[in-house]
Amino acid sequence: MKSCRKILAVFSAVTIFYGGANVYAAEVDMPTAKEDTKSTAPIELAYSYESTAYGYRIMCPQRPVGVIPANALFENREGEILIFENEEYHIKYAWVILVNAFSDDSVPNLNTINPKQAVDLLGRIMGSNGYEGIMLVNLSESNKAIFATTAKEVEIDEDGDGVVDATAKADSQMAVLFFRGENGQRYGFELIDNPELRSASVSAFLVGARTLHAIS
């Protein structure tokens, strides 16, 4: 829970709390490329990566040391993993960029839903995915996104009676974004940062999301 609050602190605006624990529907602004939220240090995204396979361009904190298909790690995922740091076969720092990440039926137009609809949507997504926290954020002035963090601890109902029987601890957490691009593409954008999510990495991830655009 504490890690979720630390990550939420990355956002510069005050969130509006509507629903249950850690479910937010908000007009929350993303950090800009000029500064992070804890200091005036610039967020450097110096390398432009272009994917000819999936038709997008994004600014990255550095040139990836490797790029692998998303389905190499995640079954039935379409996209790429941009690896920035690894130790042999262990990925320490990477961005996962997914296309066709969700269906139009599962995620309506985020730019037109009202606060009540947003809370209902976020609650359903959080319940079915086991996220620790989830919120609606302003990716840009005209485009919203769903931002969530995966849970460090997952409660397990082993017999389906609605009572928690056990708690499993994850080795790491991920930050995730879901949004539509200008071309209507349904993007999923995920941060791998091991062993723990760092505020600087989350800030760079959020700024990078604003630079993700389709190319012809």
Q: Is 200 helix (H, G, I), strand (E, B) or coil?
A: helix
Contact 194, 92 (CB under 8 A): yes
Residue-wise pLDDT for 13-48, tens only, equals: 333 333 334 555 555 565 554 444 454 467 889 999
pLDDT beyond 70 at 7: no
- Who wins on pLDDT, 132 or 84? 84
- Who wins on pLDDT, 63 or 18? 63
pLDDT interval class at 166 (50, 70, 90): low
Least confident segment among 4-13, 25-34, 52-61, 107-116: 4-13
Query: How do strand 23-29 and strand 153-156 relate by DSSP bridges?
Result: unpaired
pLDDT at res. 170: 60
pLDDT at res. 130: 75
pLDDT interval class at 165 (50, 70, 90): low
Mean pLDDT for the chain overall: 82
